[in-house]
Amino acid sequence: MAGEDKRAAIIGVVTISDRASAGIYEDLSGPAIAAYLTKILTSPFELVRRTVPDGFESVRDELIHLVDAAGCDLILTTGGTGPSPRDLTPEATEAAAPRVLPGFGELMRQESLKQVPTAILSRQIAALRGACLVINLPGKPASIATCLDAVFPAVPYCLDLIGAARLETDAAVLKSFRPKQ
């Protein structure tokens, strides 16, 4: 039954950046996502960390592998959501996860716009591949908490509905919402 899956969640964290993947700069966004999850989640989870270059196939194939082979319940990507020619994370996400949840991108941009006018440049989406939710975050490390604070309250219930692992958050840090059933 949806919402009854008590096993440890498998959560993918994918940094998408030409320069971070080449070692030109240190990846700060992947670790920021890992730290965020450690701070808010009280239920058990296992992280699967990846760093890939920008592009369509590099991202699509990694996402498909993380769902179909690694068994991820949730994947958070960072980077490649902008308008530059090699920023193809949203296209690759939709190719791997065809069922788009438009509210996630709308809310993340809305909250980010309160901080920076260039937030409208992010084409970030969230979408489903089977029983896995994939959420795109911008590359800037500072955008991670802004975007996750906005959408994470709905993530545990979304995972219940798709039949993924059950997530519990520390309500003192981030209160998630499950409609009474």
Ligand X SMILES: Nc1nc2c(c(=O)[nH]1)N[C@H]1C(S)=C(S)[C@@H](COP(=O)(O)O)O[C@H]1N2
Residues engaged in binding ligand ATP (CB under 6 A): 15, 17-20, 25, 27-29, 54, 78-79, 82, 84, 139-141
Partner interacting with residue 38 (select from ligand X, ligand ATP, none; CB below 5-8 Å by kind) = none
Whole-number minimum distance, CB 92 to ligand X, in Å? 12
Taking CB under 6 A as the criterion, which residues in 123-152 touch ligand X? Answer: 138-140, 142-143, 146
What DSSP string runs through 119-168? GGG----EEEETTEEEEEE-SSTTHHHHHHHHHGGGHHHHHHHHT-----
- Minimum gap (Å) between residue 4 Cβ and ligand X: 35
Cα–Cα distances in Å, from 30 out to 71, 80, 158?
19, 13, 23
From the list 122, 125, 126, 127, which residue makes contact with ligand X (rule: CB under 6 A)?
A: 122
Binding mask 77-116 for ligand X (x = CB under 6 A): --xxxx----x------------------------x--xx
Phi, psi dihedral angles at 150 (to 5 degrees): -70, -45
For helices 143-151 and 102-113, the axis angle rounded to 10 degrees is 130
Closest distance to ligand ATP from the beta carbon of 83 (Å): 9
Burial of 93 (0-12, 13-18, 19+ CB in 10 A): buried
- In whole angstroms, give the CA distance from residue 176 to residue 155: 8
50 binds ligand X (CB under 6 A): no
**Residues near ligand X, by CB under 6 A:** 79-82, 87, 112, 115-116, 118-119, 121-122, 138-140, 142-143, 146
